[in-house]
């Protein structure tokens, strides 16, 4: 039996280019894995078997003719937040359960142009609001390392699918940690690019000044190939930045001699909600590995990072309240039965179709934007956001990258935090500042912790970079992955 699922995108791409395997064969193989194993995980909302096979056949023709792009024929999954023409795009909400997108998001279009085959659309927290993938209308996603634990959120379906090797890679989005936190929980590599690097056109908006799309895969070299395809200026997106896209694979093999790694003391503090000692031990071992590879560790300060959670939970809900106002039961999406009048149509359609967490955030955001509170909350939050951003700018005058944990603990159990939204929000305490500042950051697997229920669960190291420094982050991650095999580990149940 072929073991294609053990191969990375980089390896599968080389095999396809060399004619060692066809895209049809690969696509069938992964569709079969999804059919036989996703029942345990619930990581997919839609599987696009017919479309995937048609794309695979077209890929094989291109490959046979020579000169096909490097990703041609590689099957991947898209988070169900990206519009996909002719395929349901639900954002894991009852509100969009009946929405078939009439067009492709730019990310989807770019990936298709690069030759990838779309296996299907992955499950997520409803409208990307959540840190555990429990708010989905289609039910919770499970962690492939422990089916009783959460995979993280909101890109939990993508992380679980890649972690269980049901897909070689997937797209995700990151508003406050939604690529990095699930990547850490599921033992894979995930990259959140600089804000504006990847187009947001056709990506259903949660918080427009924070959302950013990125790749989730086994390794840093995979993420480099995927980002090459995803990134670039898009005139359809007013937040897209017109800046040349480098070849992210070009510098992967640069040695790390003299690399200056900043360690923010705030991220390693043992205060309330601080880091689990077992997680910290894995992080410290990884830092020692970096030292052995020629890097220098420098303690730095990010004094305003403790403000990031309160700032985020004013800014993000305010923007979500504005973005979700378009779902009114009139134009598309869910509509309530027999409304009495327009007001009844609005209130019942929204009340019946939005889940609890989405309603909670809309209410918080509407309150923060309302007359008399705008200056006290939203405006103040935006001022504090500048301070958080300035801390990073100062730090990068002294260091090349910053390293810290992704999460204070390993994946918690399903249901453990659903009744305590504040505790749930605090699981993003180490990731949110990056989104507020707009800088790039990634998560790589650096070990396992035997958690309280006796399961070995993955730990992620967060690597943060200066604006548009994705190539450096990928180089730093790739060099570590050349020395270790944490990113190669697979959950027993899905081998």
Q: What is the pLDDT of residue 162?
A: 98
Give the model's confidence band at 418: pLDDT under 50 very low, under 70 low, under 90 confident, else very high. confident
Q: Whole-angstrom Cα distance, residue 81 to residue 6?
A: 27
pLDDT tens digits for range 69-86? 999 999 999 999 999 999
pLDDT of residue 311: 94
For the segment 10-53, what is each residue's pLDDT rounded down to a tens digit?
999 999 999 999 999 999 999 999 999 999 999 999 999 999 99
Q: Residue 270's pLDDT band (boundaries 50, 70, 90)? A: low
pLDDT tens-digit profile of 222-263? 999 999 999 999 999 999 999 999 999 999 999 999 999 999
Tell me how many degrees the CA angle 268-273-276 measures, rounded to the nearest 5. 60
Tell me if 133 sits within 8 A of 153, measured CB to CB: yes
Question: Rounded CA gap, 333 and 95, in Å?
Answer: 5
Q: Where are the domains of the chain?
A: 4-256+440-494
Catalytic residues: 79, 154, 178
Global pTM?
0.96
Give the C-alpha separation, 181 to 19, whole Å.
36
Residue entry with tokens 């395997």: 21
pLDDT at 273: 55
Out of 115-129, 248-262, 357-371, least confident range: 357-371
pLDDT band at 358 (very low <50, low <70, confident <90, very high): very high
Do residues 311 and 384 lie in contact, with contact meaning Cβ atoms separated by under 8 Å?
A: yes
pLDDT of residue 115: 96
Find the mean pLDDT for residues 305-311: 91
- Take residue 314 and report the two structure tokens written for it: 């004013």
Q: What phi, psi does 233 have (nearest 5°)?
A: -70, 145
Tell me the average pLDDT of the chain. 94
Q: Mark 100-133 as b/e (b = at least 16 C-beta within 10 Å).
A: ebeebbbbbbbbbebbbbbbbbbbbbbbbbbbbb
Which CATH code of 3.40.50.720, 3.40.640.10, 3.40.50.2000, 3.90.1300.10 fits the domain covering 4-256+440-494? 3.90.1300.10
How would residue 458 be classed by pLDDT, with cut points 50, 70 and 90?
A: very high
**Could you tell me which residues come within 8 angstroms of residue 394 by beta carbon, excluding any fewer than 6 positions away?**
none
User: Does residue 271 have a pLDDT over 60?
Assistant: no
pLDDT at 413: 92
Parallel, antiparallel or unpaired: strands 75-79 and 117-122: parallel
């Amino acid at each position: 039996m072929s073991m294609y699922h053990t191969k990375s995108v980089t390896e599968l791409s080389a095999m396809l280019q060399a004619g060692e395997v066809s895209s049809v064969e690969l696509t069938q193989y992964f569709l079969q894995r999804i059919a036989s194993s996703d029942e345990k995980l619930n990581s997919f909302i839609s599987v696009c078997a017919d479309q995937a096979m048609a794309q695979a056949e077209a890929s094989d023709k291109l490959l046979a003719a020579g000169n096909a792009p490097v990703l041609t024929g590689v099957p991947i999954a898209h988070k169900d937040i990206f519009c996909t023409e002719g395929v349901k795009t639900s954002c894991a909400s009852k509100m969009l359960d009946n929405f078939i997108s009439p067009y492709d998001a730019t990310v989807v279009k770019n990936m298709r142009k690069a030759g990838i085959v779309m296996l299907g659309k992955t499950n997520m927290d409803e409208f990307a609001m959540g840190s555990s993938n429990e708010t989905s209308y289609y039910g919770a996603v499970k962690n492939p390392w422990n089916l009783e634990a959460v995979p993280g959120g909101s890109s939990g379906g993508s992380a679980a699918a890649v972690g269980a090797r049901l897909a070689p890679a997937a797209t995700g989005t990151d508003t406050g940690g939604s690529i990095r936190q699930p990547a850490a929980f599921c033992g894979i590599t995930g990259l959140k690019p600089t804000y504006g690097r990847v187009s947001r056109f056709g990506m259903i908006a949660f918080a427009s000044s924070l959302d950013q799309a990125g790749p989730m895969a086994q390794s840093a070299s995979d993420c480099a190939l995927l980002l090459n395809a995803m990134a670039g200026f898009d005139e359809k997106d007013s937040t897209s930045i017109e800046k040349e896209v480098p070849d992210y694979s070009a510098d992967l093999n640069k040695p790390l001699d003299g690399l200056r790694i900043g360690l923010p003391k705030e991220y390693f503090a043992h205060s309330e909600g601080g880091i689990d000692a077992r997680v910290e031990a894995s992080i410290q071992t990884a830092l020692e590995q970096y030292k052995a590879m020629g890097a220098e560790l420098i303690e730095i300060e990010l004094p305003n990072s403790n403000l990031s959670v309160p700032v985020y939970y004013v800014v993000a809900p305010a923007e979500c309240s504005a973005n979700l106002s378009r779902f009114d039961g009139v134009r598309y999406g869910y509509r309530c039965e027999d409304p009495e009048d327009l007001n009844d149509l609005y209130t019942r359609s929204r009340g019946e179709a939005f889940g609890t967490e989405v309603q909670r955030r809309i209410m918080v955001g509407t309150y923060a934007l309302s007359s008399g509170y705008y200056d006290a909350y939203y405006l103040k939050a935006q001022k504090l956001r500048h301070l958080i951003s300035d801390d990073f700018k100062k730090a990068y005058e002294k260091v090349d990258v910053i390293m810290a944990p992704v999460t204070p603990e390993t994946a918690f159990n399903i249901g453990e935090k659903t009744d305590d939204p504040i505790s749930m929000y605090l699981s993003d305490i180490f990731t949110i500042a990056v989104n507020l500042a707009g800088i790039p950051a990634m998560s790589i697997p650096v070990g396992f912790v035997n958690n309280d229920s006796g399961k070995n669960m993955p730990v992620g190291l967060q690597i943060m970079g200066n604006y548009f420094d994705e190539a450096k982050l990928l180089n730093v991650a790739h060099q570590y992955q050349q020395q270790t095999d944490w990113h190669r580990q697979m959950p027993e149940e899905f081998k």
